[in-house]
Amino acid sequence: MVVFEVAARCPSIRAVRLIPFGTSGKHYRPHDLDNSHWLLPGSERVQDVARSLGIHFIVVPRIHNKQDSIEAARNFLSMAWIDEEHCAQGIRCLDNYCKEWDEKHGTYKSQPVHNWVSHGSDALQTGACGFVPDYIPPPNDRYYRKPRPQSAWAA
The pLDDT of residue 9 is above 50: no
pLDDT tens for each residue of 28-75: 888 777 665 655 566 677 777 778 878 888 888 888 899 999 999 999
Beta strands in the chain (DSSP E): 27-29, 39-40, 44-45, 57-59, 99-102, 107-112
Average pLDDT over residues 3-24: 44
Question: What pLDDT shows up at residue 50?
Answer: 77
Exposure letters 100-121 (e unless 16+ CB within 10 A, then b): eeeeeeeeeeeebeeeebbebb
Dihedral sign from CA coordinates of 30, 102, 99, 70: negative
Least confident of 22-26, 54-58, 125-129: 22-26
pLDDT tens for each residue of 78-104: 888 888 888 899 899 999 999 989 999
DSSP at 44: E
Q: How far apart are CA 16 and CA 10, in angstroms?
A: 10
Q: Which residues are within 8 A (CB) of 107 and not within 5 positions of it... i.e. 6 or more apart?
A: 101
Going by C-alpha positions, the residue among 66, 127, 62 that lies closest to residue 97 is 66
**Domain boundaries in the chain?**
1-59, 63-132
Report helix angle 66-77 to 116-130, nearest 10: 70
- Cα–Cα distances in Å, from 94 out to 46, 68, 116, 125, 137? 26, 16, 11, 11, 28
